[in-house]
């Protein structure tokens, strides 16, 4: 049975300060819940409709210690989905642990990307292009924001990430940093590229001046119309596609 305390606790996780305090977040919707149940995230509690439980009984029994049966209406009142007839999971956060630069791979770096929808989409893009590691400035949106989890469409379970002072991280890694700038080199004209960081900046102001000094290669996406700029997630996808094309060619 769903208690008032459980309802209050889950609703508190809509706010970052309580997610940080409890070191937990929630995941909702069938696809994302199945993804997190199959991942290395630790699920503490699962709220599920009877039909969802019956369809996924074996997976649930193997990965979740506590299950509460709920109705569709209860799920929709707890989460942010307007329609949810499957499940909602309460999940433990992972520790914010730095990783070494992965040899012969790309890492996506985000400098002050604040929109949760953009962050979630970039995580999904990274997963599509096989980029498993991301590093974020402290001002970048919260990875565990419900909108980030929703827009990543389950890809949040397949990436590694940490928040840090990017200046220190890039100096320590000492690898190429490819920064997105309007006055950079046309990405279509690049002929060879080495593994490094693909750095994307703030939605309105771009890469900060401080980090700009650490960019080894400024790149740009050529425009052919009248738009002033591209959405940061779309720009990330275009750069990832071009960089992947070049590495495959090599």
Q: Can you tell me the mean pLDDT for 37-47?
A: 96
- d(Cα 108, Cα 131) in Å, to the nearest integer? 8
Among the ranges given (108-112, 130-134, 242-246), the one the predictor scored with the smallest mean pLDDT: 242-246
Indicate if the pLDDT at residue 250 is higher than 60: no
- d(Cα 75, Cα 85) in Å, to the nearest integer? 7
At 159-196, the pLDDT tens digits run 999 999 999 999 999 999 999 998 999 999 998 899 99
- d(Cα 12, Cα 20) in Å, to the nearest integer? 11
- d(Cα 194, Cα 174) in Å, to the nearest integer? 13
> Cα 139 to the chain's mean position, in Å?
14
Collapsing DSSP to helix, strand or coil, 225 comes out as coil
Other C-beta atoms closer than 10 Å to the C-beta of 202 total: 18
Residue 143 CB partners (closer than 8 Å, separation 6+): 119, 123, 136, 156, 161
- d(Cα 131, Cα 195) in Å, to the nearest integer? 11
At 92-117, the pLDDT tens digits run 999 999 999 999 999 999 999 999 99
Residue 191: the pLDDT is 87
Residue pair 126/118 in contact (Cβ under 8 Å)? The answer is no
- CA distances to 29, 48, 194, 219 from 86, rounded to whole Å, are 6, 6, 44, 44
- CA distances to 80, 135, 136, 208 from 140, rounded to whole Å, are 21, 10, 6, 13
E strand map for the chain: 24-28, 43-48, 67-69, 87-92, 107-110, 133-136, 160-163, 177-186, 197-200, 217-220
- d(Cα 12, Cα 48) in Å, to the nearest integer? 19
- d(Cα 83, Cα 32) in Å, to the nearest integer? 14
Question: What radius of gyration do the chain's Cα atoms show?
Answer: 20
Beta bridge partners, 160, equal 133
Tokens of 206: 């771009």
% of the chain beyond a pLDDT of 70: 99
At 190-234, the pLDDT tens digits run 988 999 999 999 999 999 999 999 999 999 999 999 998 899 999
The CA angle 183-185-187, to the nearest 5 degrees, is: 120
List the domains of the chain with CATH numbers.
4-92 (3.30.1330.30), 107-249 (3.40.1280.10)
| Full DSSP string of 89-128 | EEEEPPP----PPPTT--EEEESS---HHHHHHHHHHHHH
Residue 75: the pLDDT is 95
Q: Can you tell me the mean pLDDT for 134-156?
A: 97
């Amino acid at each position: 049975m769903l208690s008032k305390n459980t309802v209050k606790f889950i609703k508190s996780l809509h706010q970052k300060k309580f997610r940080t305090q409890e070191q937990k977040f929630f995941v909702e919707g069938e696809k994302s819940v199945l993804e997190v149940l199959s991942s290395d995230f630790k699920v503490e509690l699962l709220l599920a409709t009877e039909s969802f439980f019956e369809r996924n009984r074996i997976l649930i029994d193997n990965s979740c210690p506590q299950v509460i049966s709920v109705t569709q209406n209860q799920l929709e009142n707890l989460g942010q989905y307007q329609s949810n007839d499957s499940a909602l999971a309460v999940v433990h956060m992972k520790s914010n642990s730095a990783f070494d630069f992965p040899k012969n791979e790309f890492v996506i770096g985000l400098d002050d990307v604040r929109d949760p929808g953009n962050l979630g989409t970039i995580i999904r893009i990274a997963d599509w292009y096989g980029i498993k590691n991301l590093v974020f400035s402290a001002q970048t949106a919260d990875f565990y924001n419900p909108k980030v989890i929703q827009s990543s469409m389950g890809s949040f379970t397949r990436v590694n990430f940490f928040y840090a002072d990017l200046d220190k991280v890039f100096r320590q890694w000492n690898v190429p940093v490819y920064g997105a700038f309007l006055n950079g080199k046309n990405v279509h004209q690049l002929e060879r590229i080495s593994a490094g960081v693909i750095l994307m900046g703030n939605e309105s102001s771009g890469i900060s001046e401080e980090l700009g000094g650490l960019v080894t290669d400024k790149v740009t996406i050529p425009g052919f119309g009248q738009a002033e700029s591209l959405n940061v997630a779309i720009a990330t996808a275009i750069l990832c596609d071009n960089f992947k094309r070049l590495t495959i060619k090599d």
